[in-house]
Structure 1
């Protein structure tokens, strides 16, 4: 009897061993929040992030739409932490909430990579596992201003009243947003430093949104002063596209400049509806976010075995000015 039981036990052990599946290396679980999915630029960056994750094969993304509400984003972060993600990759709704978000990661001892909205060095420095991927927002304003100057100098007809001064309207992004403030300041500062005077006729927030920007520009153009606008500068392409629709509705042609170089904007440059934009390199930002996230999750240095350079605690992906002269380099 004992011999029979031993044979049965041996048989069960063999069956058990034979049925055990070989498991591959555990995937890195990255918890991602995007401030809102339907933002033109963030939509393309999110798609690039998914492509890079699929190419890597060892990554599982948890993607969340924060619907432009910081409270929703905070809850999403708490949920991802409770699910045991290996690293957080966060596009803040409100840059002022950076300290709160980083503290959540610190309390859970989870590395965090913030991207596209800079929380500032002080916040990043509060946690040894916090880093940022983005760019230098001043550059985007400089490139936008340089492109505007180049075209203004080349085409005297843009000076509609012949006074040598650019009468302009400015569409700003989110109030207080570091990129919005820097782009607004440095675009005009660059134009002035090139020896061209400017006169601000209108300035208002379009909240990065095409529909809202269209409404703002429509109201401007409906006023007597609106007829004297010579140029529209927008903090992003989404608002620039809205401005184009408003000018078309009023049967007015104006040089309009954006930032981001999304494909729709590049098509508008090609057909002459948009004067210029600035490449906000979302593809390389997405690549840097994934590279840093994987390294931190695997307890490596943030830029180990990559080509990225660290500026204090940030990877800065450079901007590039885009107009009809170099459009072919960026149009897919």
Structure 2
């Protein structure tokens, strides 16, 4: 673990304060301008000073990922002198529509939405347009029928991020088992038909096949994809079943670090957790990073980071650009954050116990 410095201490205090703030149900105020935001001039707001940003969050409680997303946005707003007002819909689309109406009535300058239902906010999106309030979406986008009404969608490129993990695991496989032989591989994600599960697996296999394409002596058998509802207890049974039925299983791709405890327990119960397994994951959760720091030769050998803090910060930056009508800031209407993959080789560099998820290195 890296030594504590005054800068790191300030970073830790800032994150803990922000995380505590978002835990409060209802309205959260973060940041301040040079005075009453209602009287801030358009010239000031164009710099971020006194800009009032409404944030309609689909959920906060029970999700460290969402807490980190909002905390990153709050921190960025504070740095630019903006005020950010967060309303938590608690995973309820009806409530989220009401929240958007509340933000409109408050006269916010821009609205950031993390949609609970991509199509269920159609009325709210129309109301925002009628009020002349630009919209930025983050983490989840609107339905394709509505995307032309948003200024920018901020997220990670799930295919590209998954490919980082796939490439890293394929390289580990070649180093471990050589350039010939058979590899059985299985992936586990959220729900059947879940777009996130499909994209993350597509990316993983893209990166994996990029490496294996240069090693034709390796034959890879992809087992039927499993679903764990993004939860450790739900991932346990399907992963244990596939591991028990396939004692020669060699690679596991878990599409969320949240499922890690269930995946590991399942493989342990099947007698496979150990030197004969390679595991890649997705999320960049700090617990997974710590696991690689503590056990660099263990099965977990890669986690692709989707960096919620950076997504939240970027959403606020795009909100400022939306206020300024700077369409060049979000070409094509999508802004992907730069993601990375953490392996045992660089895990110590990324491990920050005060954080919950990996952040961009220049924000450490």
Q: Shorter chain as normaliser: what TM range?
A: 0.7 to 0.9
Unaligned runs of 5+ in 1: 1-21
- Please name the residue that 1:7 is paired with: none
Number of residue-to-residue matches in the alignment: 296
* Higher Cα Rg, which structure: 1
- Please name the residue that 2:306 is paired with: 280
Q: Deviations over 1:263-283 (max 9, x none)?
A: 112112222352211121323
Pairing 1:252-291 to 2, within 5 Å after superposition: 252-253=272-273, 254-272=277-295, 273=298, 274-291=300-317
**Residues 219 and 83 from structure 1, CA distance in 2 versus in 1: closer, same or farther, beyond 3 angstroms?**
farther
Secondary structure of 2:220's counterpart equals: strand
Moved over 6 A (4+): none
Q: How many Å separate the matches in 2 of 1:211 and 1:92?
A: 26
Shift of 1:151: 0.7
Q: How many Å separate the matches in 2 of 1:218 and 1:72?
A: 38
Shift of 1:165: 2.5
**1:326 and 2:346 aligned:** yes
**Residues 98 and 167 from structure 1, CA distance in 2 versus in 1: closer, same or farther, beyond 3 angstroms?**
farther
Secondary structure of 1:93's counterpart equals: coil
Q: How many Å separate the matches in 2 of 1:214 and 1:83?
A: 46
- Aligned alpha-carbon RMSD (Å): 3.0
**Residues 208 and 95 from structure 1, CA distance in 2 versus in 1: closer, same or farther, beyond 3 angstroms?**
farther
Shift of 1:177: 4.3
Q: Does structure 2 conserve the Cα–Cα contact (< 8 Å) formed by 1:244 and 1:256?
A: no
Unaligned runs of 5+ in 2: 1-33, 39-49, 353-364
**1:132 and 2:158 aligned:** no
**1:142 and 2:163 aligned:** yes
**1:48 and 2:48 aligned:** no
Q: Deviations over 1:101-122 (max 9, x none)?
A: 5334324432111011233666
Q: Match for 1:165 among 167, 170, 182?
A: 182
Q: Does structure 2 conserve the Cα–Cα contact (< 8 Å) formed by 1:114 and 1:132?
A: yes
Shift of 1:317: 1.1
- Please name the residue that 1:86 is paired with: 109
- Please name the residue that 1:247 is paired with: 267
Q: Does structure 2 conserve the Cα–Cα contact (< 8 Å) formed by 1:243 and 1:256?
A: no
Q: How many Å separate the matches in 2 of 1:44 and 1:242?
A: 23
Q: Does structure 1 conserve the Cα–Cα contact (< 8 Å) formed by 2:156 and 2:337?
A: yes
- Please name the residue that 2:200 is paired with: 183
**Residues 256 and 240 from structure 1, CA distance in 2 versus in 1: closer, same or farther, beyond 3 angstroms?**
farther
Secondary structure of 1:284's counterpart equals: helix
Q: Does structure 2 conserve the Cα–Cα contact (< 8 Å) formed by 1:201 and 1:229?
A: no
Q: How many Å separate the matches in 2 of 1:199 and 1:96?
A: 37
Q: Deviations over 1:110-158 (max 9, x none)?
A: 2111011233666322x2x53211122210121121011011011129x
Q: Match for 1:112 among 127, 131, 135?
A: 135
Q: Match for 1:211 among 227, 233, 247?
A: 233
Shift of 1:37: 3.7
Q: Does structure 1 conserve the Cα–Cα contact (< 8 Å) formed by 2:101 and 2:124?
A: no
The answer to which of 201-210 and 315-324 deviates more is 201-210
Pairing 1:96-107 to 2, within 5 Å after superposition: 96-97=119-120, 99=122, 102-107=125-130
Q: How many Å separate the matches in 2 of 1:182 and 1:242?
A: 22
